[in-house]
Amino acid sequence: MKNQALVSSALAAALSLGIVAQAQAADTAKEKCYGIAKAGQNDCATANGSHSCAGQSKADKDMNEWKYVAKGTCEKEGGSTKAPAKK
């Protein structure tokens, strides 16, 4: 029974490594784009620290708000890949 558990654990670990590799590959195909998120549609915390969660932006196209977009599309959408300077 111990051998079966060991084999099952090894198989599960190998499969999970493949899933992690796919997720990392997907992350590299995206970039943060500042200034394009609509109110309530940002992906995470603001650049200036006014909130720390996704979906909490209050205004459209706030330069402190960001969302992930496909690499190379940020500027086409009117945004910037660089975080605004902290005041």
| pLDDT (tens digit per residue) in 19-69 | 545 555 556 799 999 999 999 999 998 888 888 899 999 999 999 999 999
Q: Report yes or no: 33 and 69 within 8 Å, Cβ to Cβ.
A: yes
- Sign of the alpha-carbon torsion through 77, 80, 83, 87: negative
Instruction: Locate all alpha helices (DSSP H) within the chain, ordered by sequence.
Output: 2-28
The pLDDT of residue 77: 95
Confidence (pLDDT) at 11? 55
Each residue's pLDDT tens digit, 2-11: 767 655 665 5
Domain assignment of residue 84, yes or no: no
Domain-embedded: residue 82? no
Identify the domain containing residue 17 by its residue range.
Answer: 2-77
How would you class 46 by CB atoms within 10 Å of its CB: exposed for 0-12, middle for 13-18, buried for 19 or more? buried
Number of domains in the chain: 1
Residue 21 lies in a domain: yes
